[in-house]
Amino acid sequence: MRIAIVGGGIGGLAAALFLRQAGQEATVYEQAAELREVGAGIVVSPNMARPLRKLRLLAELERIAVRLDAAWEFRRWNDGRVLFSQPMGEACERMYGAHCYVAHRADLLALLQKALPAQWLRLDHRCTGIGQDGGEASLTFADRGGRETRVTADAVIGADGIHSTVREALAPGADARFSGLCAFRCLVPQERAPAMALRPVQTLWLGPGRHFVHYPICAGRLVNVVAIAPAGDWRAESWTAEGKIEDMVREFAGWDERLRQLILSATDTKRWALYDRSPLERWTAGRISLLGDAAHAMLPFYGQGAAQAIEDAEALAACLQGAQADSAAAALLRYEEIRRPRASQVQLMSRGRELRNHLPDGPEQLQRDAELARGDPLRDSAWLYGHGLPSAPAAR
Ligand SMILES: Cc1cc2nc3c(=O)[nH]c(=O)nc-3n(C[C@H](O)[C@H](O)[C@H](O)COP(=O)(O)OP(=O)(O)OC[C@H]3O[C@@H](n4cnc5c(N)ncnc54)[C@H](O)[C@@H]3O)c2cc1C
């Protein structure tokens, strides 16, 4: 089978690797002239680390990422009181068959790209049109010089992100929903960061209307900061839009002094408005289907967008293994049946988490904090991190 994947992000590259491993001929068409990622960190949760192990990339990930052996820690916004702290290391491996890592996005993308022989990746191919008849699908691409190429395929996977052209062809008008929030993101060099932020701990500070996350990446050389706050009139969705450190300081005024220090040790920040989409009613039409953010763009509150894209990639390859051109459509429907309920659930739960993370101080916040203190978040995450394991509980 000839499979065309539109989009060479984390999802598209992982799909090509899994499909090739399953014996199918998959080619990635990416609009950019070179693969690039934004300067930011990413959590590689166990449900993402397990598929990476199947791609034989875990050893390399261990080299470039920080393993969260120590803890996962929630703190209170104004005094830093630890609401709970949980060791991740051995317990995580025992329960979910893999550790949890934090990495630089560019390192993760480079890891996938390195594993993909260059001839399976066509850069400077922006998909501008897509169609199908009973026999095959066809795609049109434009390059920077305005030249057009036409490609035919037995199956097409739209892995072209939140503004997917392929999704627009399948499900026109599925508008993005503005969350009212924005994300500030910065990377702080180790030597400038306060000691508290250098620990191999994913720390999440909860406060009224906002939350603040930090963890070290790049073998500890940088601290990744992502801070979620009300967007005000900020609407730019671009991951490269520049924000202002002083706006970030103002948003987190009154929070623990160590956070102010951490913000002030950054030299610049990106800022973008957070959008998501509601679950789609279908991902597939005939020979065309969707994967990753193109299928299920979600808010980042479970750190699961890329993990879900990689789960998609693995499931897609399992469904297409052994399929022929004339059974492609049935295989894609099977893939959608397996993946759409799971990804939609994570999408909706990510949306729901805002409320809990951002409670104003008061009775509900006290109740949440008491539950956190009693809880076992690692075990409670079994539906998420243990997905597909024989011991995993059913989805909540
Ligand atoms: C603040 C924030 C924090 C996050 N943190 C985490 C985290 O910790 N863990 C996690 O798992 N996820 C996280 N995510 C989500 C994650 O980043 C995304 O879900 C993931 O990058 C989606 O991957 P993708 O390959 O589907 O799409 P993308 O990464 O968007 O890739 C799409 C690719 O398609 C290309 N493309 C687009 N249009 C075309 C076209 N017409 N023709 C050809 N190519 C095209 C693009 O250039 C791009 O390379 C976070 C997201 C945000 C916003």
215 carries an active-site annotation: yes
For 104-139, the pLDDT digits (tens) are: 999 999 999 999 999 999 999 999 999 999 799 999
Say if ligand 1 is within 6 A of residue 179 CB. no
Say if ligand 1 is within 6 A of residue 51 CB. no
Say if ligand 1 is within 6 A of residue 160 CB. yes
Atom of ligand 1 nearest to the CA of 294: 26
- 8: nearest Cα among 17, 52, 320: 17
pLDDT over 90 (residue 326): yes
CATH superfamily to which 2-34+123-175+278-354 belongs: FAD/NAD(P)-binding domain (3.50.50.60)
Residue 341: predicted pLDDT: 97
- Choose which CATH entry (3.40.50.170, 3.90.650.10, 3.30.9.30, 2.40.50.140) describes domain 69-98+177-276+359-396: 3.30.9.30
Between the ranges 168-177, 237-246, 308-317, where is the mean pLDDT highest?
A: 308-317
Atom of ligand 1 nearest to the CA of 291: 26
Using the mean position of ligand 1's atoms as its centre, give its distance from the Cα of residue 376 in Å. Answer: 30
Q: Which residues on neighbouring strands pair with residue 44, listed in sequence order?
A: 101
For 330-389, the pLDDT digits (tens) are: 999 999 999 999 999 999 999 988 888 999 999 999 999 999 888 887 788 899 999 988
Say if ligand 1 is within 6 A of residue 219 CB. no
63-73 average pLDDT score: 84
- 266: nearest Cα among 289, 284, 248, 292: 248
| CA gap 291, 305 in Å, rounded | 11
Domain boundaries, the chain: 2-34+123-175+278-354, 69-98+177-276+359-396
Tokens of 64: 């470039």
Quickly list H helices, 270-375. Answer: 293-296, 305-320, 328-357, 363-374
Say if ligand 1 is within 6 A of residue 6 CB. yes
Q: How many CB atoms lie within 10 A of CB 49?
A: 26
| CA gap 85, 370 in Å, rounded | 13
| CA gap 2, 289 in Å, rounded | 14
177 Rama sector, left if φ>0, alpha if ψ -120 to 50, beta otherwise: beta
Residue 394: predicted pLDDT: 57
pLDDT over 90 (residue 44): yes
Residue 392: predicted pLDDT: 63
Integer CA distances (angstroms), 337 to 74, 178, 312, 331, in order: 36, 28, 11, 10
Whose C-alpha lies nearest to ligand 1, atom 19?
305
Q: Which of 101, 215, 335, 385 is catalytic?
A: 215
Residue 170 phi/psi, 5° resolution? -85, -45
Q: Are 180 and 192 spatial neighbours (Cβ–Cβ below 8 Å)?
A: no
For 232-256, the pLDDT digits (tens) are: 999 888 778 899 999 999 999 999 9
